[in-house]
Chain A
Amino acid sequence: MSKEMTIHLKYWKQNGPNDAGHFEEYTLDNVNEHMSFLEMLDVLNEELMLADKEPVEFDYDCREGICGSCNLVINGQAHGPKARVAACQLHMRNYKDGDHITIEPPRAAAFPVIKDLVVDRSAFDRIIEAGGYVSVKTGSAGEANAILVEKEKADAAFDYATCIGCGACVAACPNASASLFTGAKIAHLNKLPQGEVERKNRVVAMVDQMKEEGFGDCSNFAECEAVCPVGISISAIAEMRRDYMKAALRGD
């Protein structure tokens, strides 16, 4: 039979970007070990609402680690203690009876708080908007097998393309840099012949946008790679910087 635990929670409450915000505390009894972390928060909110208290807002959607909506910082770690999972796939069996858990939003100037644990990550959209695509119109594509792509390259492109855009990399970075997110999209498209054409313009446009959004620079702490729920390699950042330097030096 499954185990039940008592968990002491401390969670962030903040009513909009201009509110100072504060922590609140609550103890949950009967936390089942098979619950996901977000299901535990559902239970917390049910109890709060039944006691006429305000629930804590947090972002979520797919609850299977692929949509990238959830972005909780749990005891100081983006997505919590388990490597290579998003918070929605963290299960309470990773905790023990009597544990204290602190839950915060990612703290970054480029991710202003909307409410409680919910933040505005639209800066990520704007980085993609600046150049994170192949400029091909619907209908203009050639036959799919006309351009052969080495399996190794296709696999490597996939490894970068798997980024879920959650922002854990920003949350974990002491500089709140979005280099891993940006580098991953650049590396994905660069690995493929289809993306090669716009390589130079893309890196300049995306890196410049990243700076404009107020994300910090990369100082090689590698915290981003450690917390990334899909294991994006930090080599994406090296590649991005190399390409940016090359493109900037050429002045085009």
Chain B
Amino acid sequence: MKLDSKVPGGPLEQKWDKHLKDINLVAPNNKRKYEIIVVGTGLAGGAAAASFAELGYNVRSFCIQDSARRAHSIAAQGGINAAKNYPNDGDSIWRLFYDTIKGGDYRSRESNVYRLAQVSNEIIDQAVAQGVPFAREYGGTLANRSFGGAQVSRTFYARGQTGQQLLLGAYQAMMRQVHTGKIKYHPRHEMLDVVVIDGQARGIITRDLVSGELNRYEADAVVLATGGYGNVFYLSTNAKNSNVTAAWRAHKKGAAFANPCYVQVHPTCIPVSGDYQSKLTLMSESLRNDGRVWVPRKKGDDRHPNDIPEEERYYYLEERYPAFGNLVPRDVASRNAKMVCDDGLGVGETGLAVYLDFRDAIKRDGRDTIEAKYGNLFEMYENIAGENPYKQPMKIYPAVHYTMGGLWVDYNLQTTIPGLYAAGEANFSDHGANRLGASALMQGLSDGYFVLPYTIGDYLAKQEPGKRYGTDHEAFAEAENAAQSKIDKLLNVNGNRTIIDFHRTLGKIVWDKIGIARNAEGLKSAIEEIRELREEFWQNVKVPGEKNNYNKYLEFAGRVADFFELAELMAQDALDREESAGCHLREEYQTEEGEALRNDEEYSYVAAWEYKGLNGKLEEQLHKENLEFEFVELKQRSYK
């Protein structure tokens, strides 16, 4: 396997324009001869499917939910970044690029991140034209707010439901194309394999989640926009159905998987309350604009938070990071929350929580102002936690939220399998070792609306229009048979332990040993434990029901089986990276102040793993894409 990032030469500012000038186009009368499969209907997949169809390509769109509108992008709360500089506070494309590269702790590709910043403005234009009801000022212009890791206000938002509104925009654009017949729409379908013929992606195998039937679909190119793998942790802020299966099975077919150890732990989530817990709920980072994070200075202080006087409150982020205060990036905020709780200063029944307090903001701006900004989030908190955040501080704790790692892609978003593309959270491309708040929506939409529609044409232009191998080709048959035997195997185990029980146990290993902080010893033991548990899974899992029927537990069993394999690769990758970078904190490599200590000499690379086999142990070969920084100077990140 050879990694060729295909980054165009020339000055950073001109790379994308130059690339657009150089790449091949498909003539309008030829576009209708090509078919593109898009798996996933979140921001990246929905935007890509709609844009491809508008261009005249034939599209097939698949999602596991009962409607494209339910993809997990819908749950993104806080906002979307763009370099519009409407507040006149000194923002620019360069600054958005720089903040993103720095926020990612210099572990992403300069060219990709610069392009992301460049197209960010077009995304806002597009969304407004679609009728996305962004927040506005009294003068009728768009409003902005600030987010972590930036000293400008560049985040556009629709109350605490920005993801929902942007997703509905993409969904509606997509449904318009379903209406024209350019998109064939397949909800409640799960992709189980990618079909590769003569080294090129030529189709997929899906399971109809209602009938249980396996189907074959052929196409000229396949786009995976299937999201991240945060649910490997069992408890995360991801939706329950979010999974790695499409990406993982593509990996096993030859697509390199990059930086699997880069997992973002979001600092402001509602803490775990019990074993029955099925997911964790995020409270938007935007709350850190007005909320102050603190713990009692005294260990075991069990007074009601409102009774703890000012001088006995430890506002640890404000004290330790005076320049950014409560708005430090997510990795820094999460690590600090863990540190104060490890020091015994945590609050709540479990001691694994810190306060996020709006008392001062309410006093300063009035309850109405705070309610207008965060009303729905406060309501959500009260529903779940049963406490009123207008009257007492919220309790929050970090939770797994986003995965920066994903399928390796080149500048065109193509994986190492020609004709197979990955977009949005499913790829590894833009966030390095840590993603800044409000950048996921930007990246998903950038990939879908403004990158793939051009780059996929470059590939298709080189393919013979209308060429078909037919779905009775042996590669389709083999892939379908493999998918079928995996399902049969799961149903035939008939063991004694439930899928959730296995998943929860796996999640605990991954959280404890490949979570906020990692070390060599823990990672090695994680690999052993994962292998043992995986072995037991295949001998003792209990999967109910039938294959030819709606069977949610069967779906889950297949996904958990894939998480078991991915988890081992995450540990391997974390073990290989003997440095700390962004969200990847190796306890052996820290500054004296407990900040992540990078080793640019040896680890300034993207770790791209090639699947070699699975036989008790996961065999993977490491390929390195060296990151060259021509335009920014690598520095120790400082938010002090």
Contact = CB atoms under 8 A, between A and B. Distances in A.
B500 A46 contact: yes
A149 B141 CA distance: 7
Interface in A145-194: 145, 147-151, 154-155, 157-158, 161-162, 164-165, 188-189, 191-192, 194
Interface string B141-152: 110000000000
Nearest to A166: B70
A124 B453 CA distance: 28
A69 interface: yes
A36 interface: yes
Given A39-B276, A189-B131, A162 B161 contact: yes
Contact of B544 (A54, A143, A157): A54
Interface in B64-110: 65-70, 72, 74-75, 84, 86
Contact of B129 (A36, A130, A142): A142
Contacts of B10: none
B553 A91 contact: no
Contacts of B74: 62, 66-67
Contacts of A128: 69, 171-172, 175
Contact of B161 (A66, A84, A188): A66
A162 B210 CA distance: 28
Contacts of B179: 129-130
A151 B54 contact: no
A188 B134 CA distance: 12
Contacts of A34: 273-274, 386
B380 A46 contact: no
Contacts of A122: 66-67, 187
A67 B72 contact: yes
B130 A194 contact: yes
A148 B140 contact: yes
A20 interface: no
Interface string A46-80: 10011000110101111111111100000000000
Nearest to A35: B276
A205 to B, nearest CB: 9
A102 B263 CA distance: 41
Contacts of B161: 66, 162
A228 interface: no
A157 B131 contact: yes
Interface string A122-152: 1011001110111111111111110111110
Interface string B105-141: 0000000000000000110111111110111111111
Interface string A13-43: 0011000000000000000101110110011
A154 B136 contact: yes
Contacts of A138: 47, 50-51, 54, 126, 173, 449-450, 453
B324 interface: no
A236 B205 CA distance: 42
Interface stretch (B193-201, B277-285, B296-304): B277-285
B344 interface: no
Size class of the contact patch on chain A:
35 or more
A131 to B, nearest CB: 8
Contacts of A68: 69-70
Interface stretch (A113-121, A214-222, A244-252): A113-121
Contacts of B68: 125
B159 interface: yes
B380 A158 contact: no
A69 B65 contact: yes
A204 to B, nearest CB: 14
Contacts of A82: 383
A142 B128 CA distance: 9
Contacts of B86: 145
Contacts of A2: 273-274
B175 A125 contact: yes
A93 B550 CA distance: 31
Query: Which of B124, B125, B127 has the largest count of A CB atoms less than 10 A from its CB?
Result: B125
A206 to B, nearest CB: 11
Interface string B454-493: 0000000000000000000000000000000000000000
Contact of B239 (A16, A49, A62, A133): A62
Contact of A140 (B70, B129, B276, B379): B129
Contacts of A62: 70, 72, 74-75, 239-240
Contact of A55 (B130, B449, B553): B553
Interface string B541-557: 01011000111110000
A50 to B, nearest CB: 7
Contact of A135 (B135, B158, B176, B379): B176
Given A49-B553, A67-B72, A158-B133, A141 B125 contact: yes
B545 A38 contact: no
Nearest to A115: B550
Interface in B412-438: none
Interface in B503-554: 542, 544-545, 549-553
Interface of B: 47, 50-51, 54, 65-70, 72, 74-75, 84, 86, 121-122, 124-131, 133-142, 158-159, 161, 164-165, 168, 171-173, 175-176, 178-179, 185, 187, 210, 239-241, 273-274, 276-279, 281-282, 349, 379-380, 383-384, 386, 449-450, 453, 496, 498, 500-501, 542, 544-545, 549-553
23 contacts: A1-B349, A2-B273, A15-B549, A46-B500, A54-B544, A55-B544, A61-B70, A61-B240, A64-B75, A64-B281, A67-B75, A114-B210, A118-B550, A125-B178, A133-B175, A138-B126, A138-B173, A138-B450, A145-B141, A150-B140, A154-B135, A157-B131, A188-B133
Given A61-B65, A133-B176, 6 more contacts: A50-B496, A122-B187, A144-B128, A145-B86, A148-B139, A188-B131
Interface of A: 1-2, 15-16, 32, 34-36, 38-39, 42-43, 45-46, 49-50, 54-55, 57, 59-69, 82, 84-85, 89, 91, 93, 114-115, 118, 120-122, 124-125, 128-130, 132-145, 147-151, 154-155, 157-158, 161-162, 164-165, 188-189, 191-192, 194-195
Q: What 8 A-B pairs come out closest when comparing CB atoms?
A: A148-B140, A141-B129, A133-B172, A158-B133, A141-B125, A115-B550, A157-B133, A138-B51
